Structure 1
C-alpha cells in the first residue's frame, strides 16, 4: 500500500480489549496484575535469543505501533541469529501477531480474568507462550519456562508465578479444544469465524462479500486459513536485467536457491536486479505493460510508488521497450525507498514527492500508461503484515475510498487519449475496488474498462483461475488461497482516442 494520504487510525488497544466477550469472572490477583520490574539484586533469567527477539518485536508492535515486517529483519541481524534461530524468531513473532485475538480469548479463559487486567508486558509473553504451546512443535515445558523467564525479566518474579499458572492452564487443552471453548458463546457465525481464524468480524464480512461477488462465498474459510499461513517468499528477476529461475510466472522464482534460503543474499548477489516481490504485484504491473503493444517513446507514471517494487519492474520494462518512467510518492521516506529500488535499473526515473492528486492535475494528458497502486486497508496482505488486521477498523474504509476516488479521477485526467491506467489495490474490499471504479466512471463516457482478467492471463506463463464477477465488470481479483498471491485487485481503464 502506498504512503499517499493519511495513515489509518490505529486501534492501539486492539485485541487487548475482550475480543470475544468472554473471559472468566474477574478475581483478585494471585500473581499480581500490577507488576514492578525486577529488583537490582534479582538473578537474571536466561531466555533463548530467538524468543527474546520475537518478544521484543511483539512488544514494539504493542507499545510503539511498529510494523513487524520492517522491525524483525533488523532485530535478527542485530542479535546475530543463525538461520535456524532467525526462522524460529520469525515464526514466533508473526504467528503470535497473526492470531492475537484468538490467543487473547484463550488467555482470558485460562487466567479467569479480562486481558485488560493483565499488565501489557506479561500479556505479550503469555501470547508468545500460548502460540508456542498450541501452534508449534516447541516442547510445552520449553514454551512455558522461556515465557515465564521473559515475564520475570520484564515484569518481576511476582508476575512469573501468575504467568506459569496461566500457561499451564493453556497447555492442559489442545488447540481444537480451546477453539471450541472460546467459540461456544459466539453470538453469530461471523463472530465464531473471527475467533477461530483470528480475524476481526468486520474483515470477515468484507471478505465474504468480496467472494460472494464471484459466486464463491464457500471459499471463505480457505481464505481465512490462507491469511494465517506464512507466505512463500518469491523473487522477481527484472526483465532484461536478470534471468528468472524456476517455473513461476513470469519473472518469479522461489527465494530458496544457491544462497541457502536467504533472500537477502540472493538480492545482494544480483545487485538488486533480483528482488523479493509477491507474484500478484508482478502480475498487475506486467498486465499494464501487456494490455496493448508498447510504442517507443511512451511516457509512463507510477503515481503512488512507495516503496518501489512495482516501480522497479516498470522501469525495467520501460528500458527494454524504449519508454520513459516518472514516479511519485508523497511520503519522503518512502520516496527514498523508491529511488533505492530503481537504482539497479539503468534508466533515469524522476521521483516526485507530491500529493498524487495535485501532480496528476498539473500534468493533463501527459501519460500513455499510469499505474495507480492506491493506498488502501491492505486486507489483501494480512499474511505478510501480521498486526495489520488488529489496527484497521471499518471506520477507515470511507475515508480511504474517498482518497482512492480522488486519485483515480485525477489520474484519468493525466492520461493521454488512447492511454491505459491500471487501478490497483492490495485489498479485495468491494468499497475500495469495484465501487471506486464504478463511482469514478459513472459520469464519464470517455473511459472504457478493459478485460483485466485476460491481460493477467496473457502475462502469466501458467493457467490462472479468474472467474468473471457477477457484476459483469472486467476487473481481476487475485487471492492467497486460490493463487498463492496477495489479494491484489486490478482494473484496466483505457481513455478513448
Structure 2
C-alpha cells in the first residue's frame, strides 16, 4: 500500500525484572558473620535463632552452620590468602565486603562446593547485600582464590615449618601465634625443636577446628540417664555417669532439657563438678558454695547432688541477669542465688569466712579450652587479656579458701590450658594460703592421659572434652 513506511518489527515480550535471590543458607551465614564482627555477637547464640526464624532446616541448616562457624574459625588463614588475591589491602576493604570474601574463600578452600557454584552463589549474596559494584570486586577476588587448591595456597602463605614452626601452625590451623605458644607450653613441647617437636600441639590445634558434639547432662536424682538416652536418641558418655552425646538435633526440643531435669553441658565440666562433690571430707558436709555460678551449668549438677545428700548450695553471681539464669536453671533444687562479688567473702554476711564445706570457683578465664565451640573467640581474645584475668582468678581462689572451713575443699576450675591460668596460678595460690593440693586424678576414674597430677588438664584431642583444668585444694 502506497504512502506507508516500512513496518516496524513487533516488540518481543519482556519478562518482569526479578531481583537476585541469594540462597537462604549462605545469606544466613553472611548475616551471622556481620553480627559477630560488627556488633560483637556470638555465633552460637545468633545463628540457631536465625535459622529457626527463617525456617532453614535439615541439610540447609547444616550447610549454613558449617559455613558460618568454619569461616569464623578460619579467618586468619583466609585473610592471608585473600591478601594475595585482592587488588587493595584488606584494611581498605569495606567490612561487609570482606565478610563476603571470607565466606566465598572458605567454600573454595574447605568445602566440597564446586568452584563455579561457590563464586556465583557468593556473588549473588553480594549483589543483594552490598550492590553490584562491590559484587564485581568479590567476583574478581574469588576467581583468583579458585585458581589454586588449599594445599597450594598453604605452601604460598604459611612460613617454613622448620624455620618458624609456631607461625606455620598458626596459619595451617588458623590460630593466633600466642595461642599456639600457650598450647605448646601447656603440653610441654618446645618450638626450638622444629615442627616435629610440636606434634601434639598440632593435634590440639586441629581439634579446635573440628565440630564439637553437643553433650547433655542427666541431672542426678532428676532423670535417669537411660531415660534421657531414650528421649534424646544420643549415646552414653565415656567418662561421666550422667553424660550423653547428641548425634544432632535441637537439645531444646527434648522435654527433659526444657524442664531442667537435663541440660546442655560439656562432659569435662561435668567431671570437674563431680570431682569436687566426691572428694572425701571429714566432718560436716552440708553447706556448699559456688562462687562464680553464672550461667549455672555446674551449679545445676552440684544442686542435684546436694539434694540427694541433704546438703544445700549458695550460688554467687555478680551480674544480675546471669544470676537470674542460675535461678531458672536450678529451680526446684536446694540452691540459694546471691547477687554479690565472689571476692566479698568475710565482708558480706551471706558469705561468712569458714562457712562452707565445699567451694567451687569456676573462675572467669580466657576460654581457650572451648575454642571449638566458640569459633570467633580465638580472634577476640588477646594476650593482653591474660594478666588481668590471672589477677581476678587469684583473688577469687583466695576468697574461696577463706570461705571454706578448715578441712574443707575448694575446686578451682578454668576452661583454659594456659599455664598462667592453671598450674602457675595454683602454685601461687598454694604459696599464699598454705592450702594442700589434693590429687584430683582418682576422682576422674577411667579418664585416660591425666598426666602426673595432682592437677588435671583435659583436652579435646585427648579426652574429647573441652580443655578444662581442675585443681582441688584443701584448707589446712
Q: Which residue of 1 aligns with 2:422?
A: 433
1:237 and 2:213 correspond: no
Report the structure number with the largest CA radius of gyration.
2
Aligned-partner SS, 1:442: helix
Q: Which residue of 2 aligns with 1:208?
A: 184
Distance 1:238 1:111 in 2: 52
Pairwise CA distance, 1:393: 0.7
Q: List runs of 5+ in structure 2 lacking aligned partners.
A: 1-15, 191-196, 230-234
1:76 and 2:51 correspond: yes
Match of 2:454 among 451, 455, 474: 474
Distance 1:488 1:200 in 2: 20
Match of 2:84 among 109, 134, 140: 109
Equivalence map 1:285-296=2 (5 Å) = 285-292=273-280
Residues 367 and 296 of structure 1: CA distance in aligned 2, closer, same or farther (over 3 Å): closer
Pairwise CA distance, 1:275: 1.6
Pairwise CA distance, 1:42: 9.4
Bigger relative contact order (CA 8 A; separation at least 6): 1
Match of 2:448 among 440, 464, 468: 464
Match of 1:300 among 288, 309, 333: 288
Q: Which residue of 1 aligns with 2:323?
A: 335
Q: Which residue of 1 aligns with 2:175?
A: 199
Distance 1:72 1:347 in 2: 32
Cα contact 1:427–1:489 (8 A) shared by 2 = yes
Distance 2:305 2:25 in 1: 41
Equivalence map 1:216-295=2 (5 Å) = 218-244=199-225, 245=229, 246-248=235-237, 249=239, 250-256=241-247, 261-267=249-255, 271-292=259-280
Cα contact 1:294–1:321 (8 A) shared by 2 = no
Cα contact 2:20–2:124 (8 A) shared by 1 = yes
Distance 1:308 1:127 in 2: 35
1:100 and 2:75 correspond: yes
Distance 1:295 1:80 in 2: 56
Q: Which residue of 2 aligns with 1:419?
A: 408
Match of 1:127 among 102, 114, 119: 102
Output one character per residue of 1:212-264: Cα deviation in whole Å (capped at 9) or x when no partner: 089x95300000000111111111111111122343232111223xxx73322
Question: Which is further off, 120-129 or 68-77?
Answer: 68-77
1:88 and 2:63 correspond: yes
Q: Which residue of 1 aligns with 2:357?
A: 368
Q: Which residue of 2 aligns with 1:28?
A: none
Pairwise CA distance, 1:174: 1.0
Output one character per residue of 1:450-475: Cα deviation in whole Å (capped at 9) or x when no partner: 00122122xxxx4422111xxxx510
Q: Which residue of 1 aligns with 2:116?
A: 141
Pairwise CA distance, 1:338: 1.1
Distance 2:474 2:90 in 1: 52
Output one character per residue of 1:436-462: Cα deviation in whole Å (capped at 9) or x when no partner: 1111211333x21000122122xxxx4
Aligned-partner SS, 1:443: helix
Residues 300 and 294 of structure 1: CA distance in aligned 2, closer, same or farther (over 3 Å): farther
Pairwise CA distance, 1:267: 5.0
Cα contact 1:361–1:410 (8 A) shared by 2 = no
Cα contact 1:296–1:323 (8 A) shared by 2 = no
Pairwise CA distance, 1:51: 1.2
Output one character per residue of 1:137-161: Cα deviation in whole Å (capped at 9) or x when no partner: 2232222112111221222201111
Aligned-partner SS, 2:436: strand
Output one character per residue of 1:291-348: Cα deviation in whole Å (capped at 9) or x when no partner: 11697761011111111111111111111111101101112221121112112xx323
Pairwise CA distance, 1:114: 2.0
Pairwise CA distance, 1:118: 1.3
Cα contact 1:241–1:316 (8 A) shared by 2 = yes
Distance 1:42 1:123 in 2: 29
Q: Which residue of 1 aligns with 2:42?
A: 67
Cα contact 1:297–1:324 (8 A) shared by 2 = no
Q: Which residue of 1 aligns with 2:8?
A: none
Pairwise CA distance, 1:380: 0.4
Aligned-partner SS, 1:149: helix
Cα contact 1:255–1:266 (8 A) shared by 2 = no
- TM-score where L is the length of structure 1: 0.85
Q: List runs of 5+ in structure 1 lacking aligned partners.
A: 1-40
User: What is the number of equivalent residue pairs in this alignment?
Assistant: 442
Match of 2:304 among 316, 327, 337: 316
Cα contact 2:159–2:167 (8 A) shared by 1 = no
Distance 1:327 1:228 in 2: 34
Aligned-partner SS, 2:383: coil
Residues 393 and 42 of structure 1: CA distance in aligned 2, closer, same or farther (over 3 Å): farther
Output one character per residue of 1:5-41: Cα deviation in whole Å (capped at 9) or x when no partner: xxxxxxxxxxxxxxxxxxxxxxxxxxxxxxxxxxxx9
Cα contact 2:251–2:257 (8 A) shared by 1 = no
Match of 1:347 among 333, 341, 347: 333
Distance 1:236 1:183 in 2: 41
Q: Which residue of 2 aligns with 1:159?
A: 134
Q: Which residue of 2 aligns with 1:189?
A: 165
Distance 2:257 2:184 in 1: 42
